[in-house]
Amino acid sequence: MLGLGASITNSSVQWRPTSTAADLKLWLQPGITNFTVESSNISQWSDSSSNENHVTQGVAGNRAGLHAFPTGDLYRWGIDFEHDNGDHYDLTSSIDIASDEAFMAFFVVELESASSEGLLGESNNAFIDINTTKKIKFKTTGTGGANTIPAFTGTPFATGAKFVLGIQREAGTTGNLHIYKNGDLLTPDSQLANRGDIAIDTLGTKDAAANSFDGAMWEVLVYDTVDLTALEIAKVCAYLKNKHNL
């Protein structure tokens, strides 16, 4: 593994995820002030980027609940998705990732299950999920579209432990996929690529409540347009690890 966060100092705490050359299209932060709560469940998770691309759920039965921080700090609460309830959210506007376009997303999560746990999806059966405790699935359509499943040694995506997950698709015709955990670049069984497009319009599911996420989610960042540099990736991971006590 390549420890990207090793050389990042405490000054990274002052750094913000908006300080990148890449476009920050979605930023969902933890804390009760970022949630709209109705009957103890969350109807809206507000976007902290400049795009106001809030994620919402109009059906009460598909709304996730609050996940309390152990110390009771309301500003660190997350969202508790239940797979069996089909909990998921719709983006106000889709994030359209074109073929060969750069893409990277970060998630702060703790899994309750690890079987096709939908992270981001679209209505045209393209999605990104945690497929098993050792696999990520990245499915796209259009030019270069593919169903790509990077696999790793051990169980890096085990249940019951909070971690930062980073998923990158490089820009250009190579389209190499890179997966990070807590700032470390994971070494796949083989290097895989995916050049296709995806129009992300759902959070916490593959496609309209199919294979919904099961577990807690505290923070989500989605970037596109240009690749984040190795230093920017390291800074995002350091920011998230420090913020979430990891």
Per-residue pLDDT of the chain (246 residues; tens, 9 = 90+): 444 443 333 344 478 999 999 999 999 999 989 999 999 999 999 999 999 999 999 999 999 999 887 666 777 899 999 988 889 999 999 999 999 999 999 999 999 999 999 999 997 789 999 999 999 999 999 999 999 999 999 999 999 999 999 999 999 999 999 999 999 999 999 999 999 999 999 999 987 656 899 999 999 999 999 999 999 999 999 999 999 999
As to burial, measured by CB atoms within 10 angstroms (0-12 exposed, 13-18 middle, 19+ buried), residue 146 is middle
Q: How many other CB atoms sit within 10 Å of the CB of residue 94? A: 16
Torsion of CA 185, 190, 196, 200, to 10 degrees: -40
CB 126, CB 108: distance < 8 Å: no
- The predicted pLDDT at position 33 comes to 92
Look at residues 130, 131, 128, 124 and name the one whose alpha carbon lies nearest to residue 139.
128
- The predicted pLDDT at position 209 comes to 58
pTM recorded for the entire structure: 0.92
CB 29, CB 48: distance < 8 Å: yes
CB 114, CB 158: distance < 8 Å: yes
- The predicted pLDDT at position 76 comes to 84
Look at residues 133, 126, 124, 202 and name the one whose alpha carbon lies nearest to residue 161.
133
- Return the ∠ at Cα 217 (arms to 10 and 24), rounded to 5°: 60
